[in-house]
Amino acid sequence: MPAVRAHSRKRIIICGSDSAHYGLLQRLRSHCDVLALVTTEPWQHNIRLDDVPLRYPSEVPSLYRRLSIDCLVIATEDDRLEIERATADDAHWQPQWRIGESLLEELDAGDRRR
């Protein structure tokens, strides 16, 4: 049985590391715990961007399970395809995908209701 978290912040991985993804990181971090960004560039692997580690697409299923990730956040459908290509052999995970802008709208609407 998974451990119950003490807070309700979403735990996310942002699937990419270019300027669009960095923009999502900056805007989402006030609402969510961003636990990783995904990169395909070898020179970026294991470095930190604003204290968030960059990981390879092939690492995402393991991170998703181990870190109890709520959703994978994408800027475009190409981000999702990149992860799916890299993880095609791992049929044991069914991630929750969210488009960054729609997740932001949902979180902002929730803040306004409070």
Q: What is the pLDDT of residues 42-100, one digit of tens each?
A: 999 999 999 999 999 999 999 999 999 999 999 999 999 999 999 988 878 889 999 99
Select from 21, 18, 38, 7 the least CA-distant residue to 99. 21
pTM listed for this prediction: 0.89
Counts for the chain of helices (H) and strands (E), in that order: 4, 6
How many Cβ atoms from other residues are within 10 Å of residue 48's Cβ? 9
Q: Is residue 1 part of a domain?
A: no
Question: What phi-psi label fits residue 46: left (phi over 0), alpha (psi between -120 and 50 degrees) or beta?
Answer: left
Kindly report the CATH number assigned to the domain that includes residue 50: 3.40.50.720
Select from 55, 54, 53, 50 the least CA-distant residue to 26. 50
Give the range of the structural domain holding residue 62, as residue numbers without chain letter: 10-113
